[in-house]
Structure 1
């Protein structure tokens, strides 16, 4: 690259490009990835009963991979396996798209089931 400085011409070469390994990196905090995973789980589940707690996630990040554990409550009866599978797929898709991380593992932990028949009834056993 040539440019003029002051009254005389001065030749300078363009700065050398910095190799990718030396440029630095952006590190995304585990809690940010966990919030994104929790939001993705909420999106995948859609509407839940009013007494269900919103899903949340815990995450362990290593390099460019995130291992996710999602904790959720489901309305019952439902196809539990299908709903958990939908949550897994959506979490992998959203975390990958928004954070650019690989998600090799999403463990879904169903902490509580909410029975539709007991929705208006008092707490207790239902036969």
Structure 2
């Protein structure tokens, strides 16, 4: 019934208001998704960081991370791109046309999976 209390006066729900999600919230979602996507975070490495640019219902994401070496860097970066796009879409309802991944540092890993450092 138009104009009835609690119905919004006959105006469709999508036309009554808007929901905004801050860029920093999308960046947190993206950083957490990147952390979930990498094989094993390198010992002594920092957690992935993300920055985003949001325009309407679309988010362009940039992720900076550190990886263990040797590893298949291309495969891991591709996995990060796919997982970040999927999680942002699922949790924030935004399209993610671009996820740029930058590997900032490689951490040497021994054959047994432990981190290697300098030996004196």
Which TM-score applies when normalising by structure 2? 0.84
- Distance between the aligned counterparts of 2:117 and 2:74, measured in 1? 27
Normalized per residue, the structure richer in strand is: 1
Question: 2:26 maps to which residue?
Answer: 33
- Residue ranges of structure 2 left out of the alignment (5+ in a row): 4-8
Question: 2:37 maps to which residue?
Answer: 44
- Distance between the aligned counterparts of 1:119 and 1:70, measured in 2? 23
Note the C-alpha offset of 1:20.
Answer: 5.0
The partner residue of 2:90 within 75, 93, 97 is: 97
- Distance between the aligned counterparts of 1:30 and 1:50, measured in 2? 29
- Distance between the aligned counterparts of 1:97 and 1:87, measured in 2? 15
- Distance between the aligned counterparts of 1:96 and 1:17, measured in 2? 30
The structure number with the bigger radius of gyration is 1
Would the aligned equivalents of 2:41 and 2:68 in 1 still touch at CA under 8 Å?
yes
Question: 1:78 maps to which residue?
Answer: 71
Note the C-alpha offset of 1:23.
Answer: 1.1
Would the aligned equivalents of 2:54 and 2:60 in 1 still touch at CA under 8 Å?
yes
* Secondary structure, aligned partner of 1:49: coil
The partner residue of 2:115 within 96, 104, 119 is: 119
* 1:85-107 CA distance string (max 9 Å, x none): 00000000000000000000000
- Distance between the aligned counterparts of 1:50 and 1:119, measured in 2? 6
Change over 3 Å in CA distance of 1:18–1:116 after alignment to 2: same
- Distance between the aligned counterparts of 1:24 and 1:92, measured in 2? 26
- Residue ranges of structure 1 left out of the alignment (5+ in a row): 1-12
Which TM-score applies when normalising by structure 1? 0.80
The partner residue of 1:56 within 49, 53, 57 is: 49
Question: 1:24 maps to which residue?
Answer: 17
